[in-house]
């Protein structure tokens, strides 16, 4: 029997005393992109946060390579790159410093990865600008470049297309395709279509 890379079984989550989703199951393998769709409040962000172990699930399991992620929380977090609604960038650091710090924290400080990600997201000329001076879309691009430079196997992306212009949306699709082609996987909450995605409607 082949074990899926990521296997979510019977996952349930409550927020504010109310069940947000119940008995959710799916599997994901290398090279697969899952798009979480559905109405506002249907639980897309909650599911991403549960997968990142930022909110507890009250039932069910998340398995990575057949092992329950709660048995090795740090190991699982090391597999993840996260793009949230709030980008989590440090405003006083430059774009390049933000990405380099994240790489160092992961023990994956490859200068080439940084340069490739900056170029891919059209940030070469903004690399030395403090993040607090960037526009919303430029900050979003910097946060995506940080994900792309991370070498994480699993990308968790919350509304990755938000605030992006057409060129940046194209850059995201290209980065995602390269990540998937290299054997990565990704889960994205989105209100807009993502090329090549399998869709899980949370409504």
Ligand X SMILES: Nc1ncnc2c1ncn2[C@@H]1O[C@H](COP(=O)(O)OP(=O)(O)OP(=O)(O)O)[C@@H](O)[C@H]1O
45 contributes a contact to ligand X by CB under 6 A: yes
Which one of the spans 41-49, 113-121, 122-130, 145-153 is the region binding ligand X (CB under 6 A)?
Answer: 41-49
Stretch in the footprint of ligand X (CB under 6 A) among 35-43, 60-68, 122-130, 167-175: 35-43
User: What is the nearest approach in angstroms of ligand X to the Cβ of residue 26?
Assistant: 16
Residue 24 interacts with ligand X (CB under 6 A): yes or no = no
The SS3 assignment for 94 reads strand
> Nearest approach, Cβ of 54 to ligand X (angstroms)?
11
Residue range at the interface with ligand X (CB under 6 A); choices 33-41, 86-94, 132-140, 193-201: 33-41
134-138 LR contacts (CB < 8 Å, sep 24+): 134/95, 136/163, 137/163, 137/164, 137/165, 137/168
* 160 binds ligand X per the rule CB under 6 A: no
Q: Using the 8-state DSSP alphabet, how is residue 39 labeled?
A: S
Whole-number Cα distances in Å, 156 to 20, 21, 47, 64: 19, 18, 10, 14
**How would you classify the pairing of strands 154-158 and 185-189?**
parallel
Single residue of 9, 12, 27, 42 touching ligand X by CB under 6 A: 42
The site string for ligand X over 170-189 (x = CB under 6 A, - otherwise) reads -------------------x
* C-alpha distances out from residue 28 to 5, 14, 15, 160, Å: 6, 23, 25, 19
Query: Helices (H) and strands (E) in the chain — how many of each?
Result: 6, 9
Selected range binding ligand X among 44-52, 72-80, 88-96, 193-201, rule: CB under 6 A: 44-52
The count of residues interacting with ligand X (CB under 6 A) is: 12
**Using rule CB under 6 A, residue 16 touches ligand X:** yes
Is there binding between residue 41 and ligand X (CB under 6 A)?
Answer: yes
Which residue has its beta carbon closest to ligand X? Answer: 16
- In which element (H, E) is residue 44 found? helix 44-51
Residue ranges in contact with ligand X by CB under 6 A: 15-16, 20, 38, 40-46, 189
């Amino acid at each position: 029997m082949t074990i899926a890379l990521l296997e979510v079984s019977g996952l349930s989550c409550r927020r504010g005393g109310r069940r947000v989703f119940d008995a959710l199951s799916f599997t994901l393998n290398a090279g697969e992109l899952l798009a979480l769709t559905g109405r506002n409040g249907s639980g897309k962000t909650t599911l991403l946060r549960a997968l990142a172990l930022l909110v507890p699930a009250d039932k069910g399991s998340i398995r990575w390579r057949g092992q329950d992620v709660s048995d090795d929380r740090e190991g699982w977090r090391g597999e993840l790159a996260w793009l949230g609604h709030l980008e989590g960038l440090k405003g006083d650091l430059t774009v390049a410093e933000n990405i380099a710090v994240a790489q160092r924290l992961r023990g994956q400080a490859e200068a080439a990865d940084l340069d490739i990600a900056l170029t891919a997201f059209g940030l070469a000329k903004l690399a030395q600008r403090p993040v607090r001076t960037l526009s919303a879309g430029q900050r979003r691009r910097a946060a995506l470049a940080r994900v792309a430079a991370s070498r994480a196997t699993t990308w968790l992306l919350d509304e990755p297309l938000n605030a992006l212009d057409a060129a940046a949306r194209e850059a995201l699709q290209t980065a995602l395709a390269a990540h998937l082609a290299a054997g990565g996987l990704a889960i994205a909450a989105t209100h807009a279509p993502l090329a090549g995605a399998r869709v899980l409607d949370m409504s």
